[in-house]
Structure 1
Amino acid sequence: MVKKAIGAGILAGLVLFAIFQQFYSADEPLAIEATNATTGINAGMVAPNFTLKNLAGEEINLKDYRGKKVMLNFWATWCPPCKEEMPAMEKFYKENSKEVEILAVNLDPQNNVKGFVEENELTFPILLDEEGSTQQTYSVISIPTTLIIDEQGLILKKHIGSMTIEKMEELMK
């Protein structure tokens, strides 16, 4: 009898805790400034350099893009929000490629990335993070994650989640 009462009390406490969490949890922002991040890369920091291969097997180095704004996007072929933002990224790239470079770092190169790119008619550079080292360096936990890097290589902003073309234009201001 005592065990049942203790079990019921614990169960009631857990239910109350779950209800409290539901009503008092803050909504996660759609976009955050990197300075609000508690770990990893912060706004004002120089973006860590990396060298990754593109789909043609050529090595691409982030430092080669100094002098141009860069939208650094981390994504995967299996990720629904990543798939959702790809047409907007392509449109943004076609309209802004003289001022902004998009570097889309794929995190699942074991999948058919080339087929995905061809099917979606993507023309911006796709880089393959085969070892996961760039994802780790940039502390990317959730995808898609996009960082805006200025012409001097400084990280300006960080956006977690899918983006519309309007959100891309807003982040690049």
Structure 2
Amino acid sequence: MIKKIIASVVLLSLITIAIVQAMDNEPRGVKIGAKAPDFTLKTLDGKQVELSDYKGKKVMLNFWATWCPPCKKEMPDMEKYTQQAGDDVVILAVNIDPENDVQGFVEDNGISFTIPLDSQSAKEAVNDRYKISSIPTTYFIDKEGIIRNKVISAMTLKDMERNINSMQ
């Protein structure tokens, strides 16, 4: 009998947690409609890149890691999108595991878009400022630096086109 009571209490607790989380449907991270936090990072080739350098362009800001299967899955479509995007669109694919062989990954996958490096152990990691809790996560930032959408999952080429084209 005591086992049934304990099981009932545990089940009721889990249901309560699920309901509370379902009611909190506000996505985690920087909010859509907010100004995108600026940052400065070094790229694979040692150059500095700042988000504010791209004001006046649409930015697809992607957070990823070399060990992440969904990240690997979307990379070919990101490369395709890079090849077809106009001069007013920039892809910044922020790698959060620079201690791994990012350069080898980039070469093996024929990636030509910009790869800024951000370490999770850095004092002021960009992925912390953007409150990245799952990868891949992509923010779509308009020409004025405002976040217009956020996608927490791997995207297809169509998803990228739709999100970029929806911005002014």
**Shared fold (TM-score, shorter chain, > 0.5):** yes
Match in the other structure for 2:98: 109
Task: From 75, 92, 112, give the equivalent of 1:123.
Answer: 112
Number of equivalences: 158
**Amino acid across the alignment from 1:129:** D
SS of residue matched to 2:70: helix
Q: Deviations over 1:30-69 (max 9, x none)?
A: xx9xxx43x5311221111100000011111111101110
* RMSD value, Cα: 2.3
Match in the other structure for 2:140: 148
Match in the other structure for 2:36: 47
- C-alpha separation between the residues in 2 aligned to 1:19 and 1:70? 40
**Amino acid across the alignment from 1:58:** K
Q: Deviations over 1:70-128 (max 9, x none)?
A: 00000000000000000000001110042310000001000000000000000000010
Match in the other structure for 1:92: 81
Q: Which runs of 5+ in 1 are unaligned?
A: 27-31
Alignment CA distance shift 1:18-1:114 (3 Å): same
Task: From 163, 167, 170, give the equivalent of 2:159.
Answer: 167
Alignment CA distance shift 1:97-1:78 (3 Å): farther
TM-score for the superposition, normalised by structure 1 = 0.82
Task: From 7, 10, 14, give the equivalent of 1:11.
Answer: 7
Alignment CA distance shift 1:49-1:17 (3 Å): closer
- C-alpha separation between the residues in 2 aligned to 1:19 and 1:59? 48
Q: Which runs of 5+ in 2 are unaligned?
A: none
- C-alpha separation between the residues in 2 aligned to 1:9 and 1:92? 56
TM-score for the superposition, normalised by structure 2 = 0.85
130-139 or 66-75: which moved more? 130-139
Structure number with greater Rg is 1
Structure 1 residue 13 displacement after superposition = 5.0
Structure 1 residue runs of 4 or more that deviate by more than 6 Å after TM superposition:
16-22
